[in-house]
Amino acid sequence: MVISLASASPSASPAMLENLKAQMKLGSSHVMFRKEKANPFIKTQSSGRITMALAVNVSRFEGVTMAPPDPILGVSEAFKADTNDMKLNLGVGAYRTEELQPYVLNVVKKAENRMLERRENKEYLPIEGLAAFNKVTAELLFGADNPIIQQGRVATVQGLSGTGSLRLAAVFIERYFPGAKVLISSPTWGNHKNIFNDSRVPWSEYRYYDPKTVGLDFDGLISDIKAAPEGSFVLLHGCAHNPTGIDPTPEQWEKIADIIQERNHIPFFDVAYQGFASGSLDADASSVRLFAARGLEILVAQSYSKNLGLYAERIGAINVVCSTSDAAARVKSQLKRIARPMYSNPPIHGARIVANVVGDPALFNEWKEEMELMAGRIKNVRQKLFDSLSAKDKSGKDWSFILKQIGMFSFTGLNKTQTDNMTDKWHVYMTKDGRISLAGLSLAKCEYLADAIIDSFHNVS
């Protein structure tokens, strides 16, 4: 910005100029003076003028707008600022103890101690990640004796947890299936749409949640998958659907597989809760294994944030099941090519933890026991919340959907206005779609939460 001022005096002394400068102190702005001759084509009262040019620094980034707060992570920031003793953070899906404190699994501590004892270095991993990790993670997902592994038909690349693994797959789809659409459940995890938008992959929604029953809209789901363009990618939650906690039954999974096979679609699984949903690694992987057993080519993104509590380690993988080992080798090479300019090499610490825990029979069995305990705590909280709601609510409303849901989350059916009441009046922090994370709830706080839900449901339109 430049501001020019003219002096009526044609002969300003150096002292006058310095005095003007002293009077125009404007922070980091730059003040420049120059003596100019009068312009013969412009009539002025003097034969000359003093021009002061004021240059104000203006950012090149003035056109950058402020982004809205993240709908999930922003909840935690608001929670931290609240000083009320009864406050509850039910927004972020991170496991907490009964005392609502973060929890580091014992098997993780043991694995890390072993890593220290071995004095392992911090050299770069290959682009595809730690070989031992890739081996055990594919075996955990599909089963070690699965023919697709024995035949070398699975391309596995270590990714930056579930988000990074999904992003690798999204860029792969955009590059090798241009114009192909991804079908996403309505609702879904909030970051799914961001990932595909930023990867320039078109998407549309298929019906999933039925607000009337607070359950699965199975007929709508089937209808929408049938109507999708042939060869679409169908994004499915392997278990513990986020945000609803509503999963298809085994029979419904069979029907979904039938339709996807008939329409020549490509199933794309997001598996973020294997072992953490039901407490059984095999049960929580049954949907993925069903599709693999049918001979379908599938994509599966994995995360170890929840089941091993490795939230900050950013450890996961993208797996692509192909019809031949040759195709798997080519797919893996291209996934590596995508990863190279994106982040070059994945982190090693979390990969070694997973490889040590899953690859060691003793630690593996101990891990399964810890997962059962974590999943059991969530189930107990879910039951206590249902009991509290049923006992306190005299309206006759059926709250049994809470027990039918599975995993870390429960979809309450509350709307935005009602969730605002939960926060403003009751200091309960949650996402505006009505999802609550039961991992952030203790048995001691269940009755308090029940009071908040009943008040918000019946007294707020």
**pLDDT beyond 70 at 38:** no
285-304 exposure pattern, b = at least 16 Cβ within 10 A, e = fewer: bebbbbbbeeebbbbbbbbb
Fold for the domain defined by 124-359: Aspartate Aminotransferase; domain 2 (3.40.640)
pLDDT at residue 414 in the model: 92
Work out the pLDDT band at 44, boundaries 50, 70, 90: very low
The correct answer on CATH 3.90.1150.10 for the domain covering 73-102+369-459 is: yes
Q: How far apart are CA 181 and CA 167, in angstroms?
A: 15
Active site residue 284: no
CB 296 within 8 A of CB 250: no
Over residues 410-435, the mean pLDDT reads 93
Give the total residue count for the chain.
461
pLDDT at residue 359 in the model: 95
pLDDT at residue 46 in the model: 47
Q: How far apart are CA 65 and CA 106, in angstroms?
A: 45
Residue type at 424 in one-letter notation? D
pLDDT at residue 54 in the model: 57
- Which tokens in the block code for residue 419? 């969730």
Q: How far apart are CA 103 and CA 374, in angstroms?
A: 10
Residue of higher predicted confidence among 288 and 8 = 288
Over residues 52-56, the mean pLDDT reads 59
**pLDDT beyond 60 at 27:** no
Least-confidence region, from 70-74, 121-125, 344-348, 366-370: 70-74
**pLDDT beyond 90 at 81:** no
Reported as a single tens digit per residue, the pLDDT across 188-204 is 998 999 999 999 999 99
Count CB atoms within 10 A of the CB of residue 84: 8
Active site residue 393: no
CB 367 within 8 A of CB 107: yes
pTM of the model: 0.85
Q: How far apart are CA 256 and CA 69, in angstroms?
A: 36
Task: Indicate which residue of 189, 203, 367, 399 is catalytic.
Answer: 189
- Which tokens in the block code for residue 68? 């809205």
Domain boundaries, the chain: 2-55, 73-102+369-459, 124-359
Name the residue among 305, 304, 224 with its Cα closest to residue 265.
224
Residue of higher predicted confidence among 136 and 276 = 136
Q: Are strands 88-89 and 30-37 parallel, antiparallel or unpaired?
A: unpaired
Q: How far apart are CA 168 and CA 166, in angstroms?
A: 5
Task: Report helix, strand or coil for 230.
Answer: coil
pLDDT at residue 5 in the model: 46
Q: How far apart are CA 318 and CA 332, in angstroms?
A: 10
Count CB atoms within 10 A of the CB of residue 423: 21
pLDDT at residue 308 in the model: 96
Active site residue 203: no
Give me the numbers of helices (H) and strands (E) for the chain, helices first please: 17, 16
Strand order in the sheet with 30-37: 2-6, 48-55, 30-37
Please list, in sequence order, all residues whose beta carbon lies within 8 angstroms of the beta carbon of residue 17, skipping any fewer than 6 positions away.
Answer: 33, 50
Task: Indicate which residue of 217, 224, 247, 270 is catalytic.
Answer: 270
Question: Measured in whole angstroms, how far is the alpha carbon of residue 138 from the centre of its chain?
Answer: 22
Over residues 447-454, the mean pLDDT reads 96
Residue of higher predicted confidence among 6 and 15 = 15
Over residues 346-360, the mean pLDDT reads 97
**pLDDT beyond 50 at 161:** yes
CB 161 within 8 A of CB 315: yes
Over residues 108-126, the mean pLDDT reads 95
Task: Report helix, strand or coil for 220.
Answer: helix
Residue of higher predicted confidence among 45 and 365 = 365
Over residues 255-279, the mean pLDDT reads 96
Count CB atoms within 10 A of the CB of residue 120: 12
pLDDT at residue 15 in the model: 60
pLDDT at residue 71 in the model: 75
> Tokens 């979809």 appear where?
411
Reported as a single tens digit per residue, the pLDDT across 293-338 is 999 999 999 999 999 999 999 999 999 999 999 999 999 999 999 9
Q: How far apart are CA 231 and CA 267, in angstroms?
A: 10
Q: How far apart are CA 461 and CA 456, in angstroms?
A: 8
CB 346 within 8 A of CB 249: no
Average pLDDT score, the chain: 90
Least-confidence region, from 6-20, 272-286, 349-363: 6-20
- 451 pairs with which residues across the strands? none
**pLDDT beyond 90 at 242:** yes
- 298 pairs with which residues across the strands? 321
pLDDT at residue 42 in the model: 47
**pLDDT beyond 80 at 181:** yes
Over residues 16-34, the mean pLDDT reads 51
Reported as a single tens digit per residue, the pLDDT across 366-411 is 999 999 999 999 999 999 999 999 999 999 899 999 999 999 999 9
- Of all residues in the chain, the percent with pLDDT exceeding 90 is 79
Task: Indicate which residue of 110, 181, 247, 306 is catalytic.
Answer: 306
